[in-house]
Structure 1
Amino acid sequence: MTSIDLKRNGAVAGPLLMIAAGALFAGANTAVQAAGMTFGMAPATTAFWQYAVALALAAPMLGWSSWRTRQPGWHILRVGFAVIGVQMWVAGLAVVPIWQAIALILSSPLFVTLGAAFFLGECLTWQRAGAVFAGAAGGVIILAPWTDSFSLNALLPVGAAAFWAASSLVTKHLAERDSAATLTLYLLVMLVPLNAGFAAGAGFAISGQAVWVVTLAGLLTALAQYALAGAYRLTDAAYLQPFDHVKLPLNVLAGIVVFGFAPPGLMWLGASIIFAACAWIWQDET
C-alpha cells in the first residue's frame, strides 16, 4: 500500500472515528445527566464512578501490552491539561448560562487547529480553517448565546476550551508512538484517583437503581476515549476538528429524545451547517 493510500484511508477512517467518539460521548453525557437528575447523584460522585467503571471494563480488554510507553511525562501532561479544563468548565457553569457556556466551548477546535499548525507542524489550509469556523457558526446558531448577557465570567469556558485543546494536541503527539489502547488506559488510570479526590467530600455512595446508568456511562466513556485516540492516530488533528463539532447536535438530540430539553436556537439549521462543513472538508481532503 502506498503512502497516498494510507493518507486516503486515514482521511476517511479518522473522521468516522471522531464522529463515533462524539456519538458515544453524547450517550455517556446523557447517562451522566440521568444519574444526577433522576437518581440525585452528586456530579463528583458520578464522575468518579463513570471513570472507575470505564477503567474496570477497559483494562482487561486492552491487555498488558497497553502499559508499554516511553512517554509517561506526556501522559501526565495530557491528563493535567484535561483536569484543569474540567475545573474551569465546572467553575464557569456556576456563573455563566449553560447555553452560552456550551457555545464558548466551541472555541476548542479553533485552538486545536491553530496549535496543530504552530506546535505540531501540520498544514493549516484555508479549507481546514474555513470548515472549523463554519462548524463553530453552526454551533452558535443552535445555541443562540446572544439571548444571554455577556460578562468576564465567560473567560472561564474559553479557558476550559484552551486547556482541552492543549490536551488534544498532547494526545496527537502521543499517538505518533503509542497505541489507542495505551492512550485510553493511561488516561483512565490517572483520572480515577483524581476524581476520587474530588468526590471525597460528596461521598461514594451509589443507589442500586443508579448502578446501570453509571455502568452505561462508564462503558460509553471507555469506547469514546478509544475511538478518539484512534482518530488522532490516523490523521492530522487540524483536519479532525470540524468533525468534533458534530458532537454538539448529537448531544442536543440525545437531550431532546431522553429529557425533552431543547436549546433556544435553530437546531436543524445549525446542525445542517455543521454537517455541510464536515462533508466539504472530507471531500476536499480525500
Structure 2
Amino acid sequence: MNNFHAALLLTLAMAGFAIEDAMFKVAAADLPQGTLLTLVGFLGALLLAIVAWRKGERVISPTFFHPIVIIRNLAELAGTACMVMAITTAPLTLATAVAQALPLAVMVGAAIFLGEQIGWRRWIAVCVGFAGVMVILRPGTHGFDIHALWAVGAVIGLAVRDVSTRCIPPHISSSALATWGFTCSGCAGLMIAAAQGQLPMPQGTQWLPILLAVVSGIAAYLALIISSRIGELSAVIPFRYTRLLFAMILAILIFHERPDIWTLVGSAMIVGSGLYALYRERKRMRSMMG
C-alpha cells in the first residue's frame, strides 16, 4: 500500500471533479442543462468504453440487466441530473457543500439496507452533519435558495447508487459500471432536454468548457480508481473533502462568489462530522483486527 501517492491521486481527483462542476456552470451560461448533460454523458461513456475495450473488458453484456445494476444506474441517472441542476442554478459553493453530506448518507443507507453496524457516536456524527446541511440551506429564511434542494436530491440519488454498488457482483468490472453510469447521465440529459423542449448544439468556443468537463471528469474518475487500489481506504478517504476547498476557490475566482458565514459554518459541521465518523470506523476496524 502507498498511502502518500493514493492521497495525492485522490486530491487530484477531487480537483478534477471540481473543475468539471465549474465547467458545467460556465457552459450553462450559453446552453441548457439538457444539452450539457447529454453531451458530457455520452462523450464520457464513449471514452470509458474505449478504455474498457483496451483492457479487454466487455461493456455490452447481459449483466447490464442485473437487478442491482439497474437500481444503481437509475440512481446514477437521478443523482447526476439533480447535481447538474444544482450546480447550474445554485451557487457552486453551496451546491458542493451540501453534496459533502454524501458519505454520511451512504453510511445511513448501508446501516438500513445492508445491516452494517453503526455505533451511537457515529449516529450523533450523522445528525450533526445533516444539521450542517440545514444550516447551509436555512429553510424558511430570506437566505433560503430553493435551487439548493437539487443538491439534496443529488445526495439521495448518489447515496442509493453507492449503497447499490456494494452489492454489485464482483465479476462486473468498474469500467463497465462507469460506462453505463455515464450513459445513464446522457439519457438523463435527453429527458431534461425533452422537458425543456430544446436541445441546441454548441457552436465554436461553446465546446471548450464541455470538452474540459469531459476530460477533467474522466481523468478524475481514473485517478479515483487508482487511488482506491493502491492505498488504504480509511487512510485516504478524508482527502475527498478537498473537493469543497477546490470548489470554493473556483467559485471565488471564476464566479466571484462570496460564501456567507452560514455556508462556512454548515460546511465545517458536515466535513467535521464526516471525518469523525471515519475516525470511529477506523478505530472500530483496528479493535476488531487487534
SS of aligned partner of 2:257 = coil
Which has the higher mean CA deviation after the structures are superposed, 246-255 or 91-100? 91-100
Whichever residue aligns with residue 206 of structure 2, its letter is: A
Whichever residue aligns with residue 264 of structure 1, its letter is: D
Which has the higher mean CA deviation after the structures are superposed, 102-111 or 189-198? 102-111
Query: In the alignment, what sits opposite 1:34?
Result: 26
How many positions carry a matched residue from both structures?
275
Query: Once the two structures are superposed, what CA deviation does each residue of 1:98-128 show, in whole Å capped at 9, x if it has no partner?
Result: 8776655444332211112232344435665
* TM score, norm. by length of structure 2: 0.69
Query: In the alignment, what sits opposite 1:5?
Result: none
Matched, 1:58 2:51: no
For residues 78-89 of structure 1, the aligned pairs below 5 Å read 78-86=72-80
Distance 1:236 1:174 in 2: 21
Query: In the alignment, what sits opposite 1:224?
Result: 220
Seq. identity, %: 23
Matched, 1:44 2:38: no
For residues 183-198 of structure 1, the aligned pairs below 5 Å read 183-198=177-192
Query: Once the two structures are superposed, what CA deviation does each residue of 1:128-167 show, in whole Å capped at 9, x if it has no partner?
Result: 55666676677777x5747645699987654442222111
Distance 1:61 1:93 in 2: 28
SS of aligned partner of 1:173 = coil
- Structure 1: state its 5+ residue gaps: 1-8
Which has the higher mean CA deviation after the structures are superposed, 196-205 or 46-55? 196-205
Distance 1:173 1:13 in 2: 28
2:65 alignment partner, one of 72, 92, 116: 72
1:166 alignment partner, one of 139, 160, 163: 160
Distance 2:133 2:65 in 1: 35
Distance 1:13 1:130 in 2: 32
Q: CA RMSD in A?
A: 4.6
Distance 1:263 1:254 in 2: 12
Distance 1:241 1:198 in 2: 33
- Structure 2: state its 5+ residue gaps: none
SS of aligned partner of 1:174 = coil
Distance 1:236 1:129 in 2: 24
Return the offset for 1:276. Answer: 9.7
Return the offset for 1:26. Answer: 0.6
